[in-house]
Structure 1
Amino acid sequence: MARWGWASFLLRRLTGTFVVVVLLSVGVFGLLYLAPGSIQQTLLGTRPATPETIAAIQARYHLNDPVAVQYLRWLGGAVSGDLGVSIRTGMPVSGMLGGRLSLTLALTGYGTLLAALVGIPLGIVGALRQGRTADRLVVTAGVVGLSAPPFAAGLLLLVVFTGDLGWFPGYGAGEGFADTLWHLTLPAVALAAGAVGLLIRFTRAALVRELDQDYVVFARARGLGAPLVLWYAMRNSLVPILTATGLIVTGMLVGTVLVEVTFALPGLGSLLVDSVTFKDVPVVQALALLLTLLIAAVNLLVDLGYSAVDPRVRLGGRTS
């Protein structure tokens, strides 16, 4: 029964994710039709709009076909890896994205790791020292972190640690693993600033609730050591912490746009800004679709994480 419950849970999550991605892909495809002016002029950009050129654009992008046929053709190309050609550079869009995706994922992962290493321990401290000075300091730090936009934190870090102290490079991605890690440190800290505040709040609230449960009181009465009691309480607090982590990762995928521009990093965020500026619609469409897929994948992983830490979720919310 447990196997069928797990399979049913996984099938429901995959089906829901697939439906969401398809619906969002319709919106992404609609970017071409929502752009100001005619579709032909949008695709032409700054090139002269002669009748021959317009006819070539219509033939190249099959603009005379019904919209539904155009969407299915575009979606089929996207599934097979053909995301079109950039208006600005004339290069295949898939190649442009592939060269930048790794940097954005590395920055997001680095920022998430820093946020977890700082936010979760501080949340635990706040819960264990509830109502005391340490708790008030932790809560204050969380509020300050949540109030700091990534781009503003990035500018402050640049002024202090690059301009004044000269400890970190101010732009570029570096070469080699160690150098890249060094270049990504300040951007990752800028992304992690707000995430730390969110993790503090979720971790503290979840652990405070668990420490008030009867099983914790009973464990303490039986003489179990504080580390073991904390371990059990933390295990039962993982679902809201996973929720916060999922929100953080998706937020960082979006937040990288301004942070990459601030630190002159050649990632997906800076490519999105350049493409919007030059009205490079095929690239904007591909980026929007890619971010949609990444966010859907993160949400799916979080759902699977719920089932791993709580068997009741694995069976669709029913205890076995």
Structure 2
Amino acid sequence: MSFLRFAVRRLAEMAATLLGASFVIFGALYLAPGNPASFLLGGRSASPEALQAINEHYHLDDPFAVRYLNWLGQVVQGDFGRSITYRTDVSRLLADRLPNTLMLISMALVLVLVFGLLLGWIGAVRGGKADSAILVTTTVAIGTPSFVAAVLLQGLFAVKLGWFPTGGAGDGFGQMLWHLTLPAIALALYLIGMLARVTRAAMLQVLGQEHVTAARSRGVSASQVIRRHVFRNALGTVLTTGGLIVSTLLVCTVLVESAFSVGGIGQLLELSTTTKDFPTVQAISLIMVALFMTVNLVVDLLHPLIDPRVTLGPAKKAP
């Protein structure tokens, strides 16, 4: 299957999946107990006329199918509706908070890739005490949830030592880097341990293969063997964890942003879920699903470029 045909087919599959996800996201919120009208009333009693006016204003009394189709039509045009809690366009809320989340995820992703790959490389190549130390370290990292890491880092480096701010995202690029350092570490800690383990296992598997032994017998230097034959072949296995890494970052950013009051879409999602702000929750959830599927598509397209043994599309049956 050609690259273009594979990309087009995957895009069509993504569109169908995103359509199904939109229906699930839209319907799941209406199955949950409570309703936006209760939040808008603030617990106060209201006359049937006032309650009816609220329902009519937000179209809460319309049939489910009508609400879904109207919402889907607006989303296709880039309109996510109006926030019930903040009384403003959801698109504006996302535009204000998305940069903080993207910065946090980008910083965490850099930490994951640099330290995860480096620790995995060292553990596989060095062995001995270095490998044992890395195994212990990564075990602790994997066993530490993001919200626990956030509390520990905040208490030690922000409250006790005062090296970093206790919360907020800061203004300007330099301030954002300083404010988001601890949240990024808390977000990346688990994934660093996971990626290091995956990289180490993949490289150890390749180290035992015949082509590595043959390269060494031809007098190829150890550094070239590790770089060209071991690490490059192990990258295919490492790349398959890309979807898991992104999905974990998206999920855990909600907890980390809340702990550090970052003011991103993760914290907005938590607050909107609590207040039954349907349009905001639906928009953020749909964006997260779309981002996750996009990353998986990129991984699938890059995999054959890194590992020529991988082919696009389903495997051909033997004659």
1:16 Cα deviation from its structure 2 partner: 2.3
Contact 2:149–2:186 (CA under 8 A) maintained in structure 1: yes
Q: 1:208-227 residue pairs with structure 2 within 5 A?
A: 208-227=204-223
Structure 2 regions of 5+ residues with no counterpart?
A: none
1:125 Cα deviation from its structure 2 partner: 1.0
Contact 2:74–2:80 (CA under 8 A) maintained in structure 1: yes
- What is the aligned partner in structure 2 of residue 113 from structure 1? 110
Contact 2:39–2:275 (CA under 8 A) maintained in structure 1: no
Q: Does 1:147 align with 2:148?
A: no
Q: Does 1:254 align with 2:245?
A: no
1:181 Cα deviation from its structure 2 partner: 0.5
Q: 2:156 aligns with which of 138, 157, 160?
A: 160
1:69 Cα deviation from its structure 2 partner: 3.2
Q: For residues 171 and 233 of structure 2, what CA distance do their matches in structure 1 show?
A: 42
Q: For residues 228 and 269 of structure 1, what CA distance do their matches in structure 2 show?
A: 43
Contact 1:246–1:298 (CA under 8 A) maintained in structure 2: yes
The one-letter amino acid paired with 1:224 is V
Q: 1:73 aligns with which of 70, 74, 77?
A: 70
- What is the aligned partner in structure 2 of residue 237 from structure 1? 234
1:73 Cα deviation from its structure 2 partner: 1.4
The one-letter amino acid paired with 1:197 is G
1:279 Cα deviation from its structure 2 partner: 2.1
1:244 Cα deviation from its structure 2 partner: 2.3
- What is the aligned partner in structure 1 of residue 124 from structure 2? 127
The one-letter amino acid paired with 2:150 is G
Q: Against the structure 1 CA distance between its residues 40 and 266, is the aligned structure 2 distance closer, same or farther, given a 3 Å change threshold? A: closer
1:68-97 residue CA offsets vs partner (Å, 9 max, x unmatched): 332121111112121111111211111111
Q: Does 1:270 align with 2:267?
A: yes
Deviates more, 1:64-73 or 1:107-116: 64-73
Q: For residues 191 and 156 of structure 1, what CA distance do their matches in structure 2 show?
A: 12
TM-score norm. by structure 1 comes to: 0.91
Q: Does 1:177 align with 2:177?
A: no
1:305 Cα deviation from its structure 2 partner: 2.1
Q: For residues 48 and 293 of structure 1, what CA distance do their matches in structure 2 show?
A: 40
The one-letter amino acid paired with 2:216 is R
Contact 1:142–1:201 (CA under 8 A) maintained in structure 2: yes
Q: Does 1:203 align with 2:203?
A: no
Q: 1:102 aligns with which of 99, 102, 106?
A: 99
Share of identical aligned residues, percent? 45
Deviates more, 1:258-267 or 1:6-15: 6-15
The one-letter amino acid paired with 1:241 is V
Contact 2:36–2:277 (CA under 8 A) maintained in structure 1: no
The one-letter amino acid paired with 1:17 is M
Q: How many residues align?
A: 314
The one-letter amino acid paired with 1:115 is V
TM-score norm. by structure 2 comes to: 0.91
Q: For residues 173 and 252 of structure 2, what CA distance do their matches in structure 1 show?
A: 23
Q: 2:182 aligns with which of 167, 183, 186?
A: 186
The one-letter amino acid paired with 1:52 is E
Q: 1:36 aligns with which of 11, 24, 33?
A: 33
The one-letter amino acid paired with 1:171 is G
Contact 1:45–1:87 (CA under 8 A) maintained in structure 2: no
Q: 2:17 aligns with which of 17, 20, 27?
A: 20
1:114 Cα deviation from its structure 2 partner: 0.7
1:148-186 residue CA offsets vs partner (Å, 9 max, x unmatched): 111111111112111222111111111111111011101
Q: Against the structure 1 CA distance between its residues 62 and 155, is the aligned structure 2 distance closer, same or farther, given a 3 Å change threshold? A: closer
Contact 1:5–1:314 (CA under 8 A) maintained in structure 2: no
Structure 1 regions of 5+ residues with no counterpart?
A: none
1:7 Cα deviation from its structure 2 partner: 1.6
- What is the aligned partner in structure 2 of residue 294 from structure 1? 291
Q: For residues 146 and 266 of structure 1, what CA distance do their matches in structure 2 show?
A: 26
Contact 1:168–1:182 (CA under 8 A) maintained in structure 2: yes
Deviates more, 1:69-78 or 1:202-211: 69-78
The one-letter amino acid paired with 2:275 is F
Q: For residues 50 and 81 of structure 2, what CA distance do their matches in structure 1 show?
A: 18
- What is the aligned partner in structure 2 of residue 311 from structure 1? 308
The DSSP-based 3-state class of the residue aligned with 1:300 is helix
- What is the aligned partner in structure 2 of residue 282 from structure 1? 279
The DSSP-based 3-state class of the residue aligned with 1:265 is coil
